[in-house]
Structure 1
Amino acid sequence: MKFTLASAAAILSFASSAAAHGGVIKWSVGSTTYTGWQPYNSPSGQVTPGRPYSSYDPILSPTGATIHCNNNGESGPSQQSITVAAGQEVTAYWSQWTHAEGPVTVYLAKCSGSSCTGFSSAGAKWFKIAEQGLISGTLAAGKWANGQLMANLKWTAKIPSSLQAGAYLIRFETLALHQANTPQFYPECAQLVVTGGGSAFPASNYLVSLPGAWTATDPGVKVDIYSEAAKTTTTYKVPGPAVWSG
Structure 2
Amino acid sequence: MWMGTGNRYKRRRALTPSGLPSVIHSSLTTTTINKQRQTYARRPDIMRFDLLALSAFAPLVAAHGAVTSYIIGGTTYPGYEGFSPASSPKTIQFQWPNYDPTMTVSDAKMRCNGGTSAQLSATVQAGSNVTAIWKQWTHEQGPVQVWMFKCPGAFGSSCKGDGKGWFKIDEMGMWGGKLNSANWGTALIVKNLKWSSEIPRNLAPGNYLIRHELLALHQANTPQFYAECAQIVVQGSGSAVPPSDYLYSIPTYAPQNDPGVTVDIYSSKATTYTPPGGRVWSGFQF
Larger Rg: 2
Correspondence for 2:35: none
Provide closer, same or farther for how the CA distance between residues 102 and 43 of structure 1 changes in structure 2, counting only shifts above 3 A.
same
Answering whether residue 220 of structure 2 is matched by residue 220 of structure 1, we say no
- 2:278 partner amino acid: P
1:7, CA displacement in angstroms?
9.3
Correspondence for 1:23: 66
Correspondence for 1:37: 80
SS at match of 1:147: helix
* d(CA) in 1 for partners of 2:163, 2:234: 20
Which deviates more from structure 2 when the two are superposed, residues 236-245 or residues 59-68? 59-68
Correspondence for 2:276: 239
1:30, CA displacement in angstroms?
2.5
TM-score by length of 2: 0.77
1:152, CA displacement in angstroms?
0.1
Task: Pick from 111, 133, 146 the counterpart of residue 151 of structure 2.
Answer: 111
Task: Pick from 64, 67, 74 the counterpart of residue 116 of structure 2.
Answer: 74
* d(CA) in 1 for partners of 2:191, 2:204: 34
Answering whether residue 138 of structure 2 is matched by residue 138 of structure 1, we say no
Give the ranges of 4+ consecutive aligned residues of structure 1 lying more than 3 Å apart after TM superposition.
5-16
Q: What are the superposed Cα offsets for residues 154-192 of structure 1, whole Å, 9 maximum, x if unpaired?
A: 001100001000000000000000000000000011000
Provide closer, same or farther for how the CA distance between residues 180 and 17 of structure 1 changes in structure 2, counting only shifts above 3 A.
same
SS at match of 2:112: coil
State the identity as a percent: 48
Correspondence for 1:13: 56
CA contact under 8 A between 1:82 and 1:191: conserved in structure 2?
Answer: yes
SS at match of 2:111: coil
* d(CA) in 2 for partners of 1:11, 1:241: 42
Which deviates more from structure 2 when the two are superposed, residues 32-41 or residues 205-214? 32-41
* 1:27-176 equivalences in 2 (<5 Å): 27-71=70-114, 74-76=116-118, 79-113=119-153, 115-118=154-157, 119-123=159-163, 125-176=165-216
SS at match of 1:135: coil
* d(CA) in 2 for partners of 1:81, 1:109: 14
- 2:150 partner amino acid: K
1:194, CA displacement in angstroms?
0.3
* d(CA) in 2 for partners of 1:133, 1:35: 27
1:13, CA displacement in angstroms?
3.5
More strand as a share of residues: 1
The CA RMSD over aligned residues, in Å, is: 2.1
Q: What are the superposed Cα offsets for residues 56-109 of structure 1, whole Å, 9 maximum, x if unpaired?
A: 1100112212211111x5213xx1101001101000000010100000000000
* d(CA) in 2 for partners of 1:94, 1:110: 24
Answering whether residue 232 of structure 2 is matched by residue 209 of structure 1, we say no
* d(CA) in 2 for partners of 1:154, 1:124: 28
Provide closer, same or farther for how the CA distance between residues 9 and 125 of structure 1 changes in structure 2, counting only shifts above 3 A.
farther
Which deviates more from structure 2 when the two are superposed, residues 151-160 or residues 33-42? 33-42
SS at match of 2:245: helix
1:25, CA displacement in angstroms?
1.9
1:149, CA displacement in angstroms?
0.5
CA contact under 8 A between 1:35 and 1:47: conserved in structure 2?
Answer: no
Provide closer, same or farther for how the CA distance between residues 60 and 18 of structure 1 changes in structure 2, counting only shifts above 3 A.
farther
Which deviates more from structure 2 when the two are superposed, residues 61-70 or residues 98-107? 61-70
CA contact under 8 A between 2:105 and 2:253: conserved in structure 1?
Answer: no
SS at match of 1:187: strand
Which deviates more from structure 2 when the two are superposed, residues 138-147 or residues 6-15? 6-15
* d(CA) in 2 for partners of 1:243, 1:130: 6
1:26, CA displacement in angstroms?
1.1
How many corresponding residue pairs? 237
Higher relative contact order (CA 8 A, sep 6+): 1
